[in-house]
């Protein structure tokens, strides 16, 4: 069953498969998203500490596999609006047209090349350059954004920093309505609320949908850039 919730005027989230939901939504100006990459990741980073913390002193997080990550990803269904920023571009370059690349350097330089990747890459449909965002975002940092507890589990195995997604949104300044069809734990939605943008998010997994709803709702309660006043939550079901 597909369900829509209105968290505020201009802020709506959908529970369901984005391929089924996309025909139901209205106009969007840009897509900013972090889809499943098709690399069959286990979602378990509990044996990694991240950054310069001694390995084993503070572990990562253990999550289940992401829906859709077991097959190669084709982004063609989310080429919507005037611009798209799609993370994980190195996993499906054959499906992308010329554009620019956004690189998130997420490790301390002293840890480059030791384990996992040193950064992540997004494809941006506009321009031709390569742009860099540097921010270490270890498991403890992810947990702080999620629960304000550095020792808690992070919200999502591929959680991105809110500041990273705000940086992405600055690349599409003219876009009023932002779509994230693979919403995950809702970081793009939080960034949109922080910057006063309208947001449509879609997530297929109920547990992540619930996390995204909580995080975006909390962001709406904070004093931010002007955005329509929050309204009473409304749910619509589509059988």
Q: What is the CATH number of the domain that holds 84?
A: 3.40.50
Helix (H, G, I), strand (E, B) or coil at 45: coil
Q: Is residue 209 part of a domain?
A: yes
Cα–Cα distance, 231 to 11 (Å, whole number): 10
Q: Is residue 7 part of a domain?
A: yes
Predicted confidence at residue 1, as pLDDT, reads 80
Q: What is the DSSP letter of 46?
A: T
Q: Is residue 216 part of a domain?
A: yes
Q: Is residue 238 part of a domain?
A: no
Q: Is residue 158 part of a domain?
A: yes
- Average pLDDT of span 212-221: 96
Q: Are 122 and 150 in contact (CB under 8 A)?
A: no
For the ranges 49-63, 134-148, 164-178, 185-199, the lowest mean pLDDT is seen at 49-63
Q: Is residue 237 part of a domain?
A: no
Cα–Cα distance, 38 to 17 (Å, whole number): 16
Cβ contacts of 7 within 8 Å, gap of 6 or more: 13, 213, 216, 217, 220, 230, 233
- Average pLDDT of span 122-149: 91
Task: Name the pTM for this structure.
Answer: 0.80
Statement: residue 43 has pLDDT above 70: no
- Average pLDDT of span 50-73: 55
Predicted confidence at residue 228, as pLDDT, reads 42
**Number of structural domains, the chain?**
1
Q: Is residue 113 part of a domain?
A: yes
> In the chain, pLDDT over 70 holds for what percent of residues?
78
Residue whose tokens read 């779509």: 179
CA angle 22–26–27, rounded 5-degree value: 105
- Average pLDDT of span 121-142: 93
Edge-to-edge strands, sheet with 11-15: 130-134, 100-105, 119-124, 83-87, 30-33, 177-180, 198-203, 11-15, 2-8, 234-238
Q: What confidence category does residue 15 fall into, taking pLDDT thresholds of 50, 70 and 90?
A: very high
Query: Domain limits at 131?
Result: 2-227
Statement: residue 136 has pLDDT above 70: yes
């Amino acid at each position: 069953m597909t369900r829509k919730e209105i968290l505020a005027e201009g802020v709506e989230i959908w529970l369901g498969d984005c391929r089924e939901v996309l025909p139901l939504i209205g106009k969007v100006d840009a897509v900013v998203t972090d889809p499943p990459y098709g690399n069959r990741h286990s979602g378990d980073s509990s044996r990694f500490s991240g950054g310069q913390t001694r390995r084993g002193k503070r572990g990562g997080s253990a999550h289940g596999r992401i829906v859709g990550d077991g097959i190669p990803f084709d982004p063609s269904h989310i080429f919507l609006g005037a611009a798209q920023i799609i993370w994980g571009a190195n996993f499906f370059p054959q499906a992308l047209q010329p554009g620019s690349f956004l690189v998130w350097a997420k490790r301390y330089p002293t840890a480059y090349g030791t384990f996992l990747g040193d950064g992540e890459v997004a494809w941006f449909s506009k321009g031709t350059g390569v742009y860099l965002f540097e921010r270490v975002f270890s498991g403890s940092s992810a947990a702080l954004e999620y629960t304000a507890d550095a020792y808690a589990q992070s919200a999502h195995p591929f959680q991105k920093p809110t500041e990273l997604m705000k940086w992405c949104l600055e690349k599409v300044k003219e876009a009023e309505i932002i779509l994230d069809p693979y919403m995950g734990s809702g970081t793009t939605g939080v960034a949109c609320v922080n910057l006063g943008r309208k947001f449509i998010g879609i997530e297929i997994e109920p547990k992540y949908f619930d996390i995204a709803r909580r995080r975006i709702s909390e962001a709406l309660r904070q004093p931010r850039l002007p955005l329509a006043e929050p309204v009473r939550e409304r749910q619509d079901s589509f059988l």
